[in-house]
Structure 1
């Protein structure tokens, strides 16, 4: 697990004033779960998605999806729920 959270200036990309990265990695260092706002992702695939880009997003195994950031407490709750789901999928948790 690795959590990095830094208070930053409020911008259109980070309207909540936080730069964050919450990640879970396996033993070889591969990211299994990640929630961050380090770069933009599209809400929509294809050319129509170019104008609808968000910085808040989640990584789950090898997929990236936009994430609707509400507040820090919900972010933590959503992160741990995703960690539990992936660990169950991988057979680590029952």
Structure 2
């Protein structure tokens, strides 16, 4: 019997819980993820927060489902929808994120990390990994 590759990717993702990846510049990536009961708000059964912080600890971007994304310019967000969203900038309240699977979530997060760091002229090389 062959195992489902999505389950392997999910387990890989869950292993990120509590990790902090430090960059030479002092920026860091923080990962929080755990299984929760399946619900309309978290249909994938995960609660997560992936964030990039500057050297002073201020969040620059983030992907999470801790709360509903904010309503903007007449955009109604039903309270029964999934809470997955992402913050493209430090000041943005959040925009809906279409969670597909664990692999895509990681790829999307790291793509945005590379974008922000490249715009700041900062290397994305990880120099230290903390397990918490």
Same fold (TM over 0.5): yes
TM-score bracket for this pair, using the shorter chain length: 0.7 to 0.9
Q: Which has the higher strand share?
A: 1
Q: Secondary structure at the match of 2:110?
A: helix
Q: RCO (CA 8 Å, sep 6+): is it higher in 1 or 2? A: 2
Contact 2:42–2:82 (CA<8 Å) still a contact in 1? Answer: no
- Structure-1-length-normalised TM-score: 0.87
SS in 2 for 1:41: coil
**SS of 2:105 mapped into structure 1:** helix
* Contiguous gaps of at least 5 residues in structure 1: none
1:59 maps to 2:59:
no
Structure with larger Rg: 2
Match for residue 12 of structure 2?
none
Q: TM-score, normalised by structure 2?
A: 0.63
Q: Please, which of 64, 76, 80 is the counterpart of residue 49 of structure 1?
A: 76
Q: CA RMSD in A?
A: 1.8
Cα distance in 2 between the residues matched to 1:50 and 1:69: 16
* Separation in 2, partners of 1:2, 1:85: 17
Off by >4 Å, runs of 4+ in structure 1: none
Give the CA deviation at 1:45: 2.9
Are 1:11 and 2:39 an aligned pair?
yes
